[in-house]
Amino acid sequence: MTVETTLLGTFLDNYEDFRRRLRRRLRSDDIVDDVLQETYLKVERLAPLPVNPTAYLFRMALNLAVDHHRGSGRLLTGVEVEELLHGVDDPTDPPTVLASRQDLEALGAALDTLTRRQREILVAARVDELPHADIAARYGISVRMVGKELRKALETCATKVGRRSFQRFGPGAGDPS
């Protein structure tokens, strides 16, 4: 396997694009440099190439930026978190368009593998933002079963699109997901 076909190769090929996009979101060259360095070190240790390496790498850099803010002792405001996680890239940027299309195709295929109830619970919880208690009442099941079905759906989708699934714990974990 050559460097060009590895995640590290993808990172290096897209380095300037990541720098530009991160600078637009983070508005600090120092933070961008730190985040890209941390991303490089993390990527260097990874072996398998994900389904969409460019989107995976950019998301990794964004997650490291959030970690960086947490570590600096300064808490992000809600607006800053939303801008960071959901900032709008140039919609006409060809790599962004391609990555978005690939993500949608992979997600569509993953949703097709779910049972009807899992798919409906996932949509109710994540798209409609219904509380688990409302979903449980709708399907005549327990709140705990809603959590199990949702977790299974998320894990299945994450596996199919080549991403990791994270479980939320702590206060509010059973609130709208």
169 pLDDT band, cuts 50/70/90, is very low
Neighbours of 148 (CB within 10 A): 14
pLDDT in tens, 48-76: 655 677 777 777 787 777 766 666 555 55
Tokens of 158: 């994450």
User: What are the φ and ψ backbone dihedral angles of 24, each rounded to 5 degrees?
Assistant: -65, -35
CATH class name, domain 90-164: mainly alpha
pLDDT in tens, 124-163: 888 888 899 999 999 999 999 999 998 898 888 878 777 6
The whole-angstrom separation of Cα 134 and Cα 113 is 25
